[in-house]
Amino acid sequence: MTKRKSQRRFEQLNRIVDVIAPTLPTSTHVAVLLVCFRHARQGGAFQVSTRRIADAVNIKRRRAQYVLDELIELGVVAITEEHKGPIPRKHRITGEVANENTRPPI
């Protein structure tokens, strides 16, 4: 990874931690988003299974799917391509803060 790419990735991480994370309803949402970021390529695109998210965050697979769905509903993550059989959906981190109007109750 070049120094420019490293700097850009560090800036993206700072945005997630400083701007987006405080708008999320729970720390589990933040943890799931950070796992997604870890798997993201340049531009925020990622494809990771709910099992891998669940293992990394130490939650059940169904809870990982629920939180990922909530991140989509909040506008923090977007679906770029639906799943095909056992292959997980492709997503993208939007870089936007959680939409107040769609924030689920805690």
Whole-angstrom CA distances from 8 to 21, 29, 71 are: 18, 23, 23
Residue 106 lies in a domain: no
pLDDT on residue 63: 98
Residue 104 lies in a domain: no
DSSP state, residue 44 = S
Residue 22 lies in a domain: yes
Q: CATH number of the domain at 62, please.
A: 1.10.10.10
pLDDT in tens, 12-63: 999 999 999 999 999 999 999 999 999 999 889 999 999 999 999 999 999 9
Domain encompassing residue 15: 3-98
**Rg of the chain in Å (alpha carbons):** 13
Examine the pLDDT at 4 and tell me if it is beyond 90. no
Q: Which amino acid is at 83?
A: H
Strands (DSSP E) found in 6-105: 45-46, 77-81, 90-93
Half-sphere exposure of 40 (CA within 13 A, CB side): 26
pLDDT in tens, 55-91: 999 999 999 999 999 999 999 999 998 877 777 889 9
CA 74, 71, 10, 2 dihedral sign is: negative
